[in-house]
Structure 1
Amino acid sequence: MIYFDNAATTAPYKEALKTYITASEKYFYNTASIHQSGKDAAKLLEAARAQILDLMGLKTYDLVFTASATESNNIAIQSMLRQKKQFGSTILTSELEHPSIVNVLEEMKKDGFTVKYINTNEDGKVDLDHLKSLLDSDVVFVTVMALNNIIGSIQPIEEITRMLKDYPKVHFHVDATQAIGKTDLNYNGVDTISISAHKFNGVKGIGGLFIRDLATMRPIQYGGGHEYNVRSGTVNLPGAVSMAKALRLTLGEAREVKERLSQFNEKIRTAVRDLPFIYLQPKAASYIVNMAFIGAKGEVVVNALSKRGIAVSTTSACASKLATLNETLLALNNEDKIIEGSIRISMGRHTSEDDVNKLITALREVYEELGDVLK
C-alpha cells in the first residue's frame, strides 16, 4: 500500500523504535519508585523532558507527558475553565479545530460557558479583525490550532499571542499536533501547547502538554500525583524518550522534507487542474492536498484508490466515520457537494516521487471511472 494518510498517523523512525525497545528493556522501572533503579529511570525521564523543551525552544516552560494530544487538550481546557469560571464565561475558538477541542468545548457549555467562533478567511486562516472584535472582559479562554489537519492552513499564532497580551486573564491554548516539523512557529507566550509523537514519526501512546505557568494547572483526574500532579498515572518512560528521539530527527530533516513535499504538492495539483469536476482547496502546508471529486462521495474515491493500492482519507481520521459535514470545509464556505466529495492526501518523510506519480495515475483513472457521476 502506498501511504498518503500521514496527517492521521506516521510510520515511526527505526531509531525511535529502537530507543523505545531499549528503554523498555533496560529502564522498565517506575519513575516514581524511590529505589536506585527508579531514580535512574526518573533521571532518564527528566533528560528526555529537557531535550524536548530545548528542541521546541520552550526552555522556560514545563512539559507534562500525556498519552495523546487529545488528553493534553482535555487537560488544558478542563483544568483552566474550572478555575476561570469566576472571572468570565466566554470561550473563543476557530471554526477549524479538531474534535478533541470542539467536543470538549461543547461539554463545557453544560457548565455555563459560551463558545464563540472566530471567522475564517478565504485562505483558511482565522480572521484577526474578527477575533479582536470578539475580545471583551468576559473572555477567559482562546484556543486556535497551529496547523489545520484538513487543508493544512497555518494560523497566525504569534500575532494572536501579541493581541492577547492586552487581556491578561485570557488563557491561550494551541493544539500544535499537526505542526511539528511542518512549519516554523514561535510558541513563546502561548499558555499551553499540545503535541503527539505519532504525528511526527514517533510511537503511539505518548503526547505532551507544554505549560507556561505550571502553578495555574489543576488535575482533571486524580491518582498518585505523577507529572507535577497535573496528570497522574505511571509515566510512559519508553514513549517519552522515544518521542525526544523522534522530535530531534524530525526537526533535523524538516527543511529538506518540506521543500521536497512542496514540489510534490504542486505536481499533484498541476496534474488534476485540467479536470473540470475536481476542486482544489487552497495550498498551505506542503504535506497536504485537499481536493474534491464533485458529484461523487469522498468515501467512494477513497475506496477506489485503496483498490489500486493507494491510501488516502476523507477528513480527519478521528471524525471520518461521523455522518456530518466537515467543520473546516464548511468554514471555507464550500458547497455541500464539494465537502461530500473531498479527499485528503497527506504526505510524509517517506513519500517518493514514484509514489506521487502512481497517485496521479490512480487519481486520473478514478476520475475516468466515475464518469457521469461527476458534475
Structure 2
Amino acid sequence: MDNAATTRPYDDVLETYMNVNKMYYANTSSIHQAGREAAKLLEASRRQILDLMGLGGYDCIFTSGATESNNIAIQSVLRHKKPFGRTVLLSELEHPSVINVAEAMKDEGFNVRYIRTLPDGTVDMAHLGELLDDDVVFVTVMAVNNIVGTIQPIREMVRMLKAYPKVHFHVDATQAVGKIRMDYRGVDSLSISAHKFHGVKGIGALIAREAEPLSAIAYGGGHERNIRSGTVNLPGAVSMARALRISDETLDAAEKRVYAYNRKVKEAVSGLHAVQVQPGGVPHIMNLSFTGAKGEVVVNALGTHDIFVSTTSACASKLKKLNETLLAIGCTQPVIEGSIRISFSSQTEEAEVDRLITALHAVHTEIGDVLK
C-alpha cells in the first residue's frame, strides 16, 4: 500500500528488460552495426513514449528518473533565462527535488516565490496571476501531488502563461503519468519516472517542447542531445516504453477499480474516532490522520499486520519536519504528525484492500488511548 513510492514492475516489463540486456547490449553511441541497432531501438522507444503521451512534437531525453529530470530542467533553464529575469514561481506542494533545487538557485541570484494553496490542495490561480510579472522566467507545478493526490489545473495554467511568453512552464508529472489521463500540450517540460508506473528503477525522462533552453548539469560524452551524458540505459528506456504502453492500455479499467478501493477505505474509517481523511483528487493516493498519534507509530503498527504504508514521500520520510503539503492545505500540527499515506496501484487487489481495512481498525483499537 505504498505504491506512490514505487510500484512492482509488470512481468512483461521485466521480460523486456532482460531481453534487451541479452540481445542489444551494445552502446547506443557506438558506430558499428550493433551500436546502430541499439540506437535504432532507443529512438523507437523515444517515439513511442512521446506518442503515448500525445506529445509527438516534443523531445524526450532519457535520465535516471524524475529527480534528475527536475534538476536538469530547473538548473539549465534558469541559467539560460538569467539575462531575461530572475524570478521563479512554484507551488508549496512540490517534491523536494523541485523545492530544494529552486532554493539552491538563490545562490545564483534567483528569487523564489511560492504560489499559495487553496484548502482543497490545488494552487491558488488568482495568487499566481498576482505573482506573474515581467521578471518571472520559470513556473513549476506538479501535475498530481504525491502526498494527498490533488490534481493541479495544468491546462488552466498553460492558458494563463500564454500571456507571458518568456516563462518556461515545467511540470513534475511523476505521480500522474500512467495513472490518470492529462493533457500536457503547451507545457514546456515535464519529468517522469518509470518505476512509478510499473517500470524498473533507474530510468526516467525529461520531455521538452524545445531542447534549446536545456543544457548539461553533469558533463561527459555528449549523450542524449548533449543534455544528459553517460551511457544510455537502453534496457531501461525500452522497458519504460513497454510499461507506459501497458499502463495506457489498462488505465481506464484500473482507474475505475482503484476509485472503488478508495471509496471503500474512506467509508470504512469514516466512523473511527480521531481519524481524519485529507482532501484528495486521484484515486490511487489517499492521506489520512490518526490525530493524537504519531504517523511513524501508525506505520509501524500497520507493519505488524503486514500492511506497508508511508508517512510522507519516501524521499523525505526520514526528515524530522512537518510536511509542507499538509501545512499548505491548513492541517493542524496534530493532524500532520499523525498522518499516513496509503497508495494503490493498478495491480492492487480487493482482498488486499480488505486486509488494509481490517488492519486500520485493529491499529485504531491498539492505539486508541492516545487518539484525541
Tell me whether the two structures share a fold, i.e. TM-score over 0.5: yes
Residue number in structure 2 paired with 1:354 = 351
Which amino acid in 2 is paired with 1:323? K
Matched, 1:50 2:47: yes
Q: Deviations over 1:139-181 (max 9, x none)?
A: 0100000000000000000110111011011000000000012
- Structure 1 residue runs of 4 or more that deviate by more than 2 Å after TM superposition: none
What is the CA–CA distance in structure 2 between the aligned matches of 1:300 and 1:175, rounded to whole Å?
30
Match for residue 191 of structure 2 among 168, 188, 194: 194
Q: Deviations over 1:222-248 (max 9, x none)?
A: 111100001111000000000000000
Correspondence list, 1:67-106, <5 A: 67-106=64-103
Matched, 1:153 2:150: yes
What is the CA–CA distance in structure 1 between the aligned matches of 2:32 and 2:166, rounded to whole Å?
42
What is the CA–CA distance in structure 1 between the aligned matches of 2:184 and 2:356, rounded to whole Å?
35
What is the CA–CA distance in structure 2 between the aligned matches of 1:142 and 1:289, rounded to whole Å?
26
Kindly indicate whether the alpha-carbon contact (under 8 Å) linking 2:168 and 2:188 is maintained by their aligned counterparts in 1: yes
Residue number in structure 1 paired with 2:263 = 266
Correspondence list, 1:130-145, <5 A: 130-145=127-142
What is the CA–CA distance in structure 2 between the aligned matches of 1:44 and 1:181, rounded to whole Å?
22
Residue number in structure 1 paired with 2:315 = 318
Q: What is the alpha-carbon root mean square deviation over aligned residues?
A: 0.7
Residue number in structure 2 paired with 1:372 = 369
What is the CA–CA distance in structure 2 between the aligned matches of 1:129 and 1:202, rounded to whole Å?
37
For structure 1, which runs of at least 5 residues remain unmatched after alignment? none
**CA-CA distance at 1:17 after TM superposition:** 0.5
Matched, 1:19 2:16: yes
Matched, 1:344 2:341: yes
Matched, 1:6 2:7: no
Kindly indicate whether the alpha-carbon contact (under 8 Å) linking 2:121 and 2:280 is maintained by their aligned counterparts in 1: no
TM-score (norm 2): 0.99
What is the CA–CA distance in structure 1 between the aligned matches of 2:150 and 2:121, rounded to whole Å?
5
Identical aligned residues as a percent? 62
What is the CA–CA distance in structure 2 between the aligned matches of 1:283 and 1:37, rounded to whole Å?
49
What is the CA–CA distance in structure 2 between the aligned matches of 1:130 and 1:371, rounded to whole Å?
41
For structure 2, which runs of at least 5 residues remain unmatched after alignment? none
Matched, 1:287 2:284: yes
Kindly indicate whether the alpha-carbon contact (under 8 Å) linking 2:86 and 2:135 is maintained by their aligned counterparts in 1: yes
Q: What is the SS of the residue equivalent to 1:311?
A: coil
Which amino acid in 2 is paired with 1:342? S
Correspondence list, 1:144-223, <5 A: 144-223=141-220
Q: What is the SS of the residue equivalent to 1:92?
A: strand
What is the CA–CA distance in structure 2 between the aligned matches of 1:353 and 1:217, rounded to whole Å?
44
Which amino acid in 1 is paired with 2:80? Q
Residue number in structure 1 paired with 2:226 = 229
**CA-CA distance at 1:257 after TM superposition:** 0.6
**CA-CA distance at 1:75 after TM superposition:** 0.3
Q: What is the SS of the residue equivalent to 1:317?
A: coil
**CA-CA distance at 1:283 after TM superposition:** 3.0
Residue number in structure 1 paired with 2:328 = 331
Which amino acid in 2 is paired with 1:285? V
Q: Deviations over 1:22-60 (max 9, x none)?
A: 000000000000001000000000011011111010000
Q: Deviations over 1:191-247 (max 9, x none)?
A: 111000000000000000001111221111111110000111100000000000000
Which amino acid in 2 is paired with 1:197? A
Which amino acid in 1 is paired with 2:303? S
**CA-CA distance at 1:18 after TM superposition:** 0.4
What is the CA–CA distance in structure 2 between the aligned matches of 1:319 and 1:53, rounded to whole Å?
30
What is the CA–CA distance in structure 1 between the aligned matches of 2:69 and 2:368, rounded to whole Å?
45
What is the CA–CA distance in structure 2 between the aligned matches of 1:330 and 1:59, rounded to whole Å?
38
- Matched pairs, number: 372
**CA-CA distance at 1:15 after TM superposition:** 0.4
**CA-CA distance at 1:122 after TM superposition:** 1.4
